[in-house]
Structure 1
Amino acid sequence: MRNLKRLLEALPSKKIFGQTDLDIKKIEYDSRKIKEGDLFVAIPGFKEDGHEYINSASEKGAVAVVTQRDGDYKAKVKVIVPDTRKALALLSSKFFDSPSQRLEVVGITGTNGKTTITYLLKSILKKAGRKVSLIGTIAYFIGGKRVVAEKTTPESLDLQNMFSQMLEKGTDSVVMEVSSHALALKRVIGVDFDVAVFTNLDQEHLDFHKTLSAYKESKGLLFDMLSEKSYAVINIDDPNWKYFYDKAKTNRLTYSLDNQRADFYTKTFSSDLEGSQIDLVTPNGRININLKLLGESNIYNALAGAAVGIALKVDLETIKSGLESVQGIPGRMEKIQAGQDFKILIDYAHTTTALERLLKTVRRLTPGDLLVLFGCGGDRDQGKRPQMGEVASLLADKVFLTEDNPRSEDPEKIIDQIMLGVKNKDKVEIIIDRREGIRKALKIAKRGDSLVLAGKGHEDYQIKKDRKFHFSDKETVLELLKMSAVGSPPSKNLETKT
């Protein structure tokens, strides 16, 4: 319970109507969760606007409302602000007593690599004796408890509540993915970041940001938030690195695969099916790392992890131990072995650059044919679809195009757009049903080949129209391999409303 008058001190600009010397039990932005004595913050959403539910919230017991539009509302107290999303973030931080100020918080942004870096950092910091929690795409880890992740970066109220729970569980360090959506929608305002990482920028989420420039600017907001004591960790191999470097008016560390002007770079590196061997140069010395993760992308991720470790005063031997302890990450270059005489890898690659790097890595490790199966998500950036088609048709020997999460779109039309970029249509087989596509790919793969299933990674669902079905690439592969992948009837998907 918090005093409303003191709580509203968090808002720099506001107009208050009503008596504020009263207690607030909790804050809500979902009117369905309102109880007697709550504060309701009306935020505009993608499909619905919270302002339409202010009177409903008042009828359910909300004693105060925060709105960015004036109106004849029934609540005892009305607070008008310029931006309710920003207000929600500031009020939430104040309500939970600014929990991030008592935590060591690392935020990772960029198109690719965020999830892997959080897992690498979790391992490094645990080896250093920290009690670590994690927020990201695959799951949230609050202390030792695993929680299903509904968003890569939660809404500000939920995020501050998580930070508070983490403190109660004894957490001292948090590693989190910071999505461009979260930055644009002000979910992380009020978070005290100790380190911010920029990984790379690729065409993604233009359905939301509209332009690549706006997407970049959203990512840059994270670096505007850093204090003088914070660190910015920047990948200088990305063409956009200088933008983020200049944004960060604080301590800066850079990393590169082989650019010796960077603070962290590799003297030599190599990869095989067992992982990657890295001769790493750092400001604190040089060290050899035997990473269990495959490919050049994961070498970049390890470099970022090492840089953050140094920023947080972790010694090199502990960083080495933490990196080498990570055996794999769900749906990220994940190897599947169930007795077959060819390689199977499942990866979340769903952008042009990620798919290109993935296929180039696997190509180097494949004596036989390289097969790839993928699709593109519906209601998402359409511009990357032909680009991904081009990359797949140039780098793979056989391409299976199938559905991903079509959402409200027709999967056949999505594939038509992918086909616009395909250079050699003879390589392509279109099988809309993803399970049937996997079955066919498994059937034709032979000794020495590699089969890459791209796009869905760790996901255990498909979204079609307004329905959410249980579907996992990994489960499907293991099931079909167990059935010898031949003559297996399509399974009935379990469905739930989204």
Structure 2
Amino acid sequence: MNINTLYQVDYNFEVAGLATDNRQVKTGDLFVCIKGYTVDGHRFAKAAQDAGACAIVCEHIVEGVTIPQIVVEDTSVELPRLAHMIFGQPTKALQLFGLTGTNGKTTTAYILEHLLRGFEGEVGYIGTNGIRFADVFLEPKNTTPDALHLQKLFAQMVEKQVKNVAIEVSSHALELHRVDYCEFKVALFTNLTPEHLDFHPTMDDYFEAKFKLFKMLRPDGYGIINIDDPYGEKLVDRLKGKNVYTFGLQSKADFYASDVKMTAQGTTFNLRFNQHVYEVNTPLLGTFNVYNVLGAIGSAYSAGLSMEAILTQLAQLAPVDGRMELINLGQDFTVIVDYAHTPDGVEKVLEFVNDIKQTEVKVVIGCPGDRDRTKRPVIAKLSVDYADDVIFTTDDPHSEQPEDILDEMVAGIQQNNYRVIVDRRAAIQEAIEKAQKDDIILIAGRGHEKLQYWKSGNIELDDREVAKELLRQRLAAK
């Protein structure tokens, strides 16, 4: 692509590609200097030049660089435009389904990905549980990749004949311009509860970040909104005159569920829409997953999939990795692994297991380091309030000492139905060894994650695999 396609400049040369990391620059690439939280890309402009960059895009002239320098006001804003152009405007060939909200994005996106197989063409998914399309699977670094890698992924999807993409869109992604130059067929809102308030100053700021997704809807696009959430009501008011479907457990919703019945094996409910009633059976557990199913149904329907096709696809749905995932090796008690890591998410999961419990609820849980510290005592208090027995343990400590995190969690707790076991594997082992017939063990916080993140380096730790190994040992010892 000629540089004059991107900028009105006096230069005349071809741009081969795009890079933000000098170590990944190839000959002929345009290097964009991004100011990060800890590193400023301007410092590496000379290294990018030495690696073969044809020009740099920067916010100020960098001394010592002799290749052309194109100065812009904000390189973070410029990056998505450049990526969109250089990779051939791939989103014009895709239908994007963006999902945002505090909790439920991953499960709803998983269900929606499954439903979208009812359309012709390949289906893509981008989110916390990975990046999937055609025969490709990649581990994600963030819920929503940066603009450069996102547009590159979209271009690869187009090559693989992908037509529809379910993508989790985090508030960070919206604020940091990662999804700029994306037009969405569907923007779905799950809910909004306190989270990431170390990044967003207030809940209103958090909401405004989420609202940005709905400004990116195509003219024929739909907003799919959880009307039972107060912020969902606020969204509906803002979107008057636009295409909107609502969902919830109340009759005011366009898609609403009634007669919800739950067991430890799954959930059934009646879906009511357009004066019709449809029976829905799902292996997913909990009322919160009824919301997730409703949101996915509304999204697929708004894009043109018939209700009959939706129900056919739903009948083939399997449980989601690390989301209320049952670990069943034939033991006489229930083990559930879940990703719940926010106060709202933890409370909803605990409410569900209390609704179905026969004897005791035992919880293994921690809080991550380098994240919102205010939620630590809240999550701990919810755990001891709802569970009969709680083991507080290490989540992903990152740069913090796990003992410090655990001290903050238990500070002020008056109940005595808890203990602290720093080693997470040992904590899971304690819960499984002490479990009695018909107990429920909830291992919360990490879900599908396979690595535990420490300052000294990451270690392999998958709660599901640990639970399976310990269950096998217990069953073999009988």
Instruction: Output the TM-score relative to the length of structure 2.
Output: 0.96
Which residue identity is paired with 2:3?
Answer: L
| Equivalent residue, structure 2, for 1:177 | 168
Task: Give the Å deviation of 1:86.
Answer: 1.2
Q: Does the 8 A contact of 1:41 with 1:65 survive in 2?
A: yes
Structure 2 distance, partners of 1:41, 1:77, is: 12
Query: Is 1:5 equivalent to 2:4 in the alignment?
Result: yes
Task: Give the Å deviation of 1:283.
Answer: 2.9
Number of residue pairs matched by the alignment: 476
Task: Give the Å deviation of 1:75.
Answer: 4.2
Structure 2 distance, partners of 1:233, 1:223, is: 10
Task: Give the Å deviation of 1:480.
Answer: 1.4
Structure 2 distance, partners of 1:402, 1:167, is: 44
| Equivalent residue, structure 2, for 1:225 | 216
Query: Is 1:316 equivalent to 2:307 in the alignment?
Result: yes
Which moved further from structure 2: 22-31 or 127-136?
127-136
Q: Which residue of the other structure, out of 243, 254, 275, is the alignment partner of 2:246? A: 254
Structure 2 distance, partners of 1:20, 1:97, is: 21
Provide Cα deviations, 1:183-228, integer angstroms capped at 9, x if missing partner: 1110000111110001011111222224322222211111122232
Q: Does the 8 A contact of 1:106 with 1:195 survive in 2?
A: yes
Task: Give the Å deviation of 1:127.
Answer: 2.6
Which residue identity is paired with 2:345?
Answer: A
SS of 1:483's equivalent?
helix
SS of 1:467's equivalent?
coil
Q: Does the 8 A contact of 2:369 with 2:398 survive in 1?
A: yes
Q: Which residue of the other structure, out of 127, 134, 155, is the alignment partner of 1:164? A: 155
Which residue identity is paired with 2:183?
Answer: D
Q: Does the 8 A contact of 2:122 with 2:133 survive in 1?
A: no
| Equivalent residue, structure 2, for 1:490 | none
| Equivalent residue, structure 1, for 2:322 | 331
Query: Is 1:395 equivalent to 2:386 in the alignment?
Result: yes
Task: Give the Å deviation of 1:96.
Answer: 1.4
| Equivalent residue, structure 1, for 2:84 | 93
Query: Is 1:482 equivalent to 2:444 in the alignment?
Result: no
| Equivalent residue, structure 2, for 1:494 | none
Provide Cα deviations, 1:358-406, integer angstroms capped at 9, x if missing partner: 0111111110100001000000001111111111111000000000001
Change in Cα spacing, 1:242 to 1:83, as seen in structure 2 (3 Å) is: farther
Query: Is 1:118 equivalent to 2:101 in the alignment?
Result: no
Matches within 5 A, 1:60-459: 60-248=51-239, 250-257=242-249, 259-283=250-274, 285-420=276-411, 422-424=413-415, 426-459=416-449
Task: Give the Å deviation of 1:486.
Answer: 11
Change in Cα spacing, 1:20 to 1:421, as seen in structure 2 (3 Å) is: farther
Regions of 4+ moved over 4 Å:
none
Task: Give the Å deviation of 1:3.
Answer: 0.9
Q: Does the 8 A contact of 1:206 with 1:380 survive in 2?
A: no
Q: Does the 8 A contact of 1:120 with 1:322 survive in 2?
A: no
Provide Cα deviations, 1:403-455, integer angstroms capped at 9, x if missing partner: 0001111111111221135341x101100000000111111111010000000
Instruction: Output the TM-score relative to the length of structure 1.
Output: 0.93
SS of 1:373's equivalent?
strand
Which residue identity is paired with 1:323?
Answer: L
